[in-house]
Amino acid sequence: MKLLNYLRYLPLISLPASAFAADRAVTSDITSNTKWTANNTYILRKSIFVKNGATLTIEPGTTILGGNAAGPNGIIDNGGDDTYGSLVIARGAKINAVGTPAKPIVFTAIQERDGLNGNPSVKPDPALGDGGFWGGIVILGRAPINFYVAGTNANENSIEGFPAGSTDDIKYGGNNRADNSGALKYVSIRFGGYVFNAATGSEINALTMGGVGSGTVVENVEVISNTDDGVEIFGGTVNTKRIAVAFCQDDSFDLDEGHQGFHQFWFSIQNETSTIGDRGGEWDGGNGSTKSGTPNNRIRVYNATMLGNGQSAPSSANPGFYLDDFFAGELHNSLIHDFSGAAITKDAADGIGGGGGQPPAPIFSNNTWGDFAGGAGLLATLNTAGSPSGTGNSPIGVNPRIGGISRNPNSGLDPLPLANSPLLVANGATLSSFPTDAPANFFETVSHRGAFGQNNWLDGWSYLSKNGYLLPTEGVVFTKNPASAVVAPKGSITLRALAVGKPSPSYQWFRNGVAVPGATSDKLVLSNFTAKTAGKYFVIATSAAIEVKSAIATVALPKITSNLKPASLKLKKKYGETIKANFKANNFSAKGLPPGLKIDESGKISGKATKKGKYTATIVATQKKKTKVIFKATAKKIYVVK
The lowest-confidence range among 182-186, 234-238, 278-282, 297-301 is 278-282
CB proximity list for 268: less than 8 A, separation 6 or greater: 230, 244, 245, 246, 252, 253, 280, 304, 305, 306, 307
Residue-by-residue DSSP string for 252-285: SEEEESS---EEEEEEEE--SSGGG---SEEEE-
Statement: residue 191 has pLDDT above 90: yes
Q: Quick one: pLDDT at residue 19? A: 43
CA-CA distance, 252 to 356, in Å (whole number)? 32
pLDDT at 2 over 60: no
Q: Of 128, 95, 96, 130, give the one whose Cα is nearest residue 111.
A: 130
Confidence of residue 82 (pLDDT cuts 50, 70, 90): low
**Measured distance CA(192)–CA(206) in Å, rounded:** 6
Q: Kindly list the distances between the CA atom of residue 555 and the CA atoms of 50, 494, 507, 536, in Å, as whole numbers in the listed order.
A: 60, 11, 19, 6
Q: How much is the pLDDT for 120? A: 87
Contacts of 222 (CB under 8 A, 6+ apart): 187, 188, 189, 243, 244, 245, 246, 458, 462, 463, 464
Q: Is residue 75 over pLDDT 80?
A: no
pLDDT at 93: 98
Position 583 scores a pLDDT of 87
Mean of the pLDDT values across residues 305-325?
Answer: 84
pLDDT score recorded for residue 423: 98
pLDDT tier at 118 (50, 70, 90 boundaries)? Answer: confident
- Kindly compute the dihedral angle of the four CA atoms of residues 257, 263, 267, 272, in this order, to the nearest 10 degrees: 20
pLDDT tens-place string over residues 408-432: 998 899 999 999 999 999 999 999 9
- Please compute the mean of the pLDDT values over residues 18-23 and round it to a whole number: 64
Q: Which range, of 450-454, 475-479, 632-636, averages the lowest pLDDT?
A: 475-479
Q: What angle do CA 114, 136, 167 make, to 5 degrees?
A: 130
**pLDDT of res. 274:** 66
pLDDT tens digits, one per residue of 133-172? 999 999 999 999 999 999 999 999 999 888 777 789 999 9
* Residue percentage of the chain with pLDDT more than 70: 92
**Cβ neighbour number for residue 573 with a 10 Å cutoff:** 10
Nearest-10 Cα torsion for 329, 335, 337, 343: 30
pLDDT above 50 for 72: no
Give 253-270 pLDDT, tens digit per residue: 999 999 999 999 999 999
Instruction: Give the end-to-end CA distance of the chain in Å, rounded to a whole number.
Output: 56
d(CA 492, CA 504): 28
d(CA 303, CA 291): 28
522/19: higher pLDDT? 522
| pLDDT for 478 beyond 90 | no
Exposed / middle / buried, residue 543 (Cβ in 10 Å: 0-12, 13-18, 19+): buried
Of 170-184, 483-497, 555-569, which range is least confident? 555-569
Q: What is the mean pLDDT of residues 364-386?
A: 95
pLDDT for 198 equals 57
pLDDT: which is higher, 106 or 199: 106
Which one of 80-84, 233-237, 465-469, 477-481 scores highest in mean pLDDT? 233-237
What pLDDT sits at residue 158? Answer: 94
Q: What is the mean pLDDT of residues 400-414?
A: 93
pLDDT of residue 367: 98
Distance of alpha carbon 389 from alpha carbon 283, whole angstroms: 16
Note whether 368 and 429 are within 8 A (CB): yes
Q: Are 523 and 496 in contact (CB under 8 A)?
A: yes
pLDDT in the model for residue 197: 61
Pick the closest to residue 369 from 291, 302, 449 (CA basis).
449
* Non-local CB neighbours of 56 within 8 Å, separated by 6+ positions: 30, 33, 34, 35, 36, 50, 87, 89, 93, 94, 95, 96, 97, 182
- pLDDT above 60 for 94: yes
pLDDT of 173: 97
- On whether the pTM is more than 0.75, the answer is yes
Helices (H) and strands (E) in the chain, counts: 3, 50
CB atoms within 10 A of CB 292: 18
Residue 552 to residues 436, 501, 535, Cα–Cα distance (Å) = 58, 20, 10
pLDDT in tens, 582-626: 888 999 999 999 999 999 999 999 999 999 999 999 999 999 988
Q: Which residues lie below 8 Å from residue 343, measured CB to CB, with a gap of 6+?
A: 319, 320, 321, 336, 369, 372, 374, 375, 376, 377, 378, 379, 396
Give pLDDT tens digits for 499-544. 988 788 999 999 999 999 999 999 999 999 998 999 999 999 998 8
C-alpha distances (whole Å) from 320 to each of 4, 87, 597 are 39, 30, 78
Residue 28 burial (10 A CB sphere; 0-12, 13-18, 19+): exposed
C-alpha triplet 309, 312, 317: angle, nearest 5°: 55
**61-65, 70-74, 88-92: range with lowest mean pLDDT:** 70-74
Is the model's pLDDT at 20 over the cut of 80?
no
Name every residue whose Cβ is closer than 8 Å to that of residue 422 and which is 6 or more positions away in sequence. 368, 394, 398, 399, 400, 401, 428, 429
